[in-house]
Amino acid sequence: MTVLADMFKAGRMSRSLIIVSAFAALFALVGLRGVSVALGSDAARGTVAAAEPEAHIRAEIHDRNGELLATSVSVYSLFADPRAIWNAADVAAALAGVFPDMDRAELTARLSNRARAFVWIKRGLTPRQRQAVFDLGVEGLGFRVERQRAYPRGSQAGHVLGHTDVDGKGQMGIEFALDERLRSHDEPVRLTLDSGVQYVLEAEIQAAAEAYDIAGGAGIVLHARTGEVRAMASWPQFDPNRPRLATEAARLNRATGAVYELGSVFKPLTVAAALGSGGISMAETFDVRSELVINGFEITDTHQGPARMDAALVLAESSNIGTVRIAERLGPTGLAEALDRLGLLDRAPIEMPSSAAPILPRKWTELSNATVSYGHGVAVSPLAFARGFAALGNDGVVPDLTLVSGPRDPARPIVAPFVAPEIASDLVGMLRVAVTEGTGKRADVPGYRVAGKTGTAEKPIAGGYSEDRNVNSFAALFPSERPEYVVLVVLDDPRAGGGPGGTAALNAAPVAGRIIERIAPLLEVAPEFDQAALSERASRERSVP
């Protein structure tokens, strides 16, 4: 009995050792697996915010007065380590509860791929989304702190600023053009824009879009002497905070990236070139009543004026026939050379990636010389035109454009003078008359002596030009006695407020006038009233009930 008892005890102890050894081995395997995963990925420790060093912070963008236009903020981005996820389908289902727009099947497939140690789930989480994921308590998920671009003024100057992608690389506008500088420097990039002026310009273009039902629009405020862009707007607006929601129409910067046949705003440039060449004189008059046909193409005026007009009246009455008579003195070569000196035969040189090339006549003929003289048959960007027009307010010299404050790039081309200072001054005087007595009356602003020109151009269509679709524009210089600023308004296909095909005098001109009235105080342009203007203003105020 003693021997049997000893044998029984020995067997029971052997079985106990086997069971204990088996459990020990199992725990050892689990432990080794945990150590392996922990060493391979921070995500295995559960939902954590990984303490990784942040990348270099992208430099801020300011306006000329130091107002913040673009900055970088810290955000959390969610990632996963599939090796630490036991049930990918369950995890995908839990995440879909936080992010309803996620594709559960696609996410399940990615989380099931144990060959990968890192998978992005979602970048740029809101604080609420991060907390919701954290509360899931799911292992294998983690957070990284990243930098995301933010534009505190929303869509204001959106086309100028552009935006970055999820990795912080510039994709449009200044963000793209100065991407390397923004990524490698700490100092903010200061633009020449004035936020106050930019706000007014965008607000008035938006109001015009609503009032006239336009297909698109653009506006520019340019310092005529320095070439600094104080404001640049394009409609439809673009919000750089939500680039994926923008339509193709909203992504296009119409101020720099689109070209238009701008019509009669070209006429002052033609007249200036002819005066500068000596081809015409200020006192000379031109026959505007006789029939004018060139190569079978009849050129007409929209309304009848005096039988003969001098250059000033040609501009005030916006006579196509008179402008062509003047352009004949230049000839195709002379007009082409003049536009070349104005920079209108090339892209506008600006710190933007989307400066569009002009569309020019295939061959400079007698007919193309005629149509180009009054702004048809040549299409340029609004910015390129504003720059050329600025020469009239800058003693005849085309300014060097810039959007970025600071020293200019010495490699930038220097443009030769367009016309002599006295001729430029004469043209500004003519444009003042075009506002006080001609087609630009609705652009006048008491105290600021606006000088400018309307442009109503039929839109090109297959086989010719539309009779009821226009591009309407107004180009202004103010104050006329000492020009400082150019204001250009372009309205593409206005279909209300004067009816389809309505002229620029009915829409673009009053829009420009309202812009000037609002921005002049912001630009510290003091109003000057003569006695006649004061009497007229007082009379209007008394007549208001």
What amino acid positions are annotated as catalytic residues? 264
Cα–Cα distance measured from residue 154 to residue 286, given in angstroms and rounded to the nearest whole number: 52
| CA distance readout (Å), 406 to 192, 228, 350, 519 | 9, 11, 14, 23
> What are the CA-CA distances from residue 305 to residues 206, 294, 302, 317 (Å)?
35, 22, 10, 7
**Phi, psi angle pair for 191, to nearest 5°:** -90, 165
Q: Answer whether 148's CB lies under 8 Å from 55's CB.
A: no
Scanning 162-247, the segments in alpha helix (DSSP H) are: 173-177, 179-184, 195-212
Q: Whose CA is closest to 244, among 101, 74, 71? A: 101
- What residue type is 139 in one-letter code? E
DSSP E strand boundaries for 441-528: 451-461, 464-478, 485-492
125: CB partners within 8 A, 6+ apart: 75, 76, 77, 78, 133, 143
153/132 Cα distance (integer angstroms): 29
- Please, what is the end-to-end C-alpha distance for the chain in angstroms? 129
Strands 308-310 and 285-287: antiparallel
What stretch of H or E contains 517?
helix 508-522
Write the burial class of residue 460 (CB in 10 Å: 0-12 exposed, 13-18 middle, 19+ buried).
middle
- Among 444, 446, 475, 470, smallest CA distance to 533 is for 446
d(CA 91, CA 77): 17
Q: Can you read off the two tokens belonging to residue 121?
A: 């789930």
Token pair, residue 295, equals 């190569």
Q: CA–CA separation, 22 vs 15, rounded Å?
A: 11
